[in-house]
């Protein structure tokens, strides 16, 4: 089953000690990704590039670690949604307003709603918004 991966999860693949309580969840998402593939909105690539650049600049990771992470992401079956920006000022904005979440988080929710996919997230506000919108959360049954 394909699903949507939120940046809060994929960030732990690079910086697992930034949120130790989420490591097991992030690893289970990565395992399932290897079996079924996943989707991300168009802003995920920028969110991820920002994370890598900041972590490297702050001395949290080396250039080699950054490169290895980017290489890993390139090998994973992650599909970047090309329609994210088409929905930004419509459905995404509506979801952000309704649930009181930032638009860049609402983009993950919008994709999950539009494609009828589960959402993998460690972001509490986004998880609450997903539940309110009737979106299944990855790992819940």
Residues 1-36 have pLDDT tens digits of 699 999 999 999 999 999 999 999 999 999 999 899
- Tell me what pLDDT residue 72 has: 94
49 to 11, 35, 70, 107: CA distances (angstroms): 10, 25, 9, 17
Q: Is residue 105 part of a domain?
A: yes
Q: Residues of the chain whose pLDDT is less than 70?
A: 1, 141
In a domain, 140, yes or no: no
Task: Tell me, yes or no, whether 137 lies in a domain.
Answer: no
Q: Domain containing 36: what range?
A: 3-132
In a domain, 88, yes or no: yes
Number of compact structural domains in the chain = 1
Put simply, whether the predicted model's pTM sits higher than 0.75 gets the answer yes
CATH of the domain at 41: 3.40.50.1010
Cβ pair 121, 108 in contact under 8 A:
yes
- The verdict on residue 37 lying in a domain is yes
Q: What's the pLDDT at 1?
A: 67
In the prediction, which pLDDT does 140 show? 72
The answer to whether residue 125 sits within a structural domain is yes
């Amino acid at each position: 089953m394909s699903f949507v991966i939120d940046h809060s999860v994929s960030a732990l693949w690079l910086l697992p000690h930034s949120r130790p309580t989420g490591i097991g969840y992030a690893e289970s998402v990565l395992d399932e990704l290897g079996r079924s593939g996943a989707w991300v909105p168009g802003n995920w690539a920028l969110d991820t590039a920002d994370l890598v650049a900041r972590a490297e600049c702050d001395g949290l990771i080396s250039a080699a670690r950054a490169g290895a992470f980017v290489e890993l992401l390139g090998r994973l079956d992650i599909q970047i949604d090309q329609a994210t920006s088409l929905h930004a000022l419509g459905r995404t904005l509506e979801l952000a307003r309704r649930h009181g979440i930032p638009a860049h988080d609402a983009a993950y929710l919008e994709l999950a709603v539009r494609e009828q996919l589960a959402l993998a997230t460690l972001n509490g506000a986004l998880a609450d918004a997903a539940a309110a919108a009737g979106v299944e959360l990855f790992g819940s049954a």
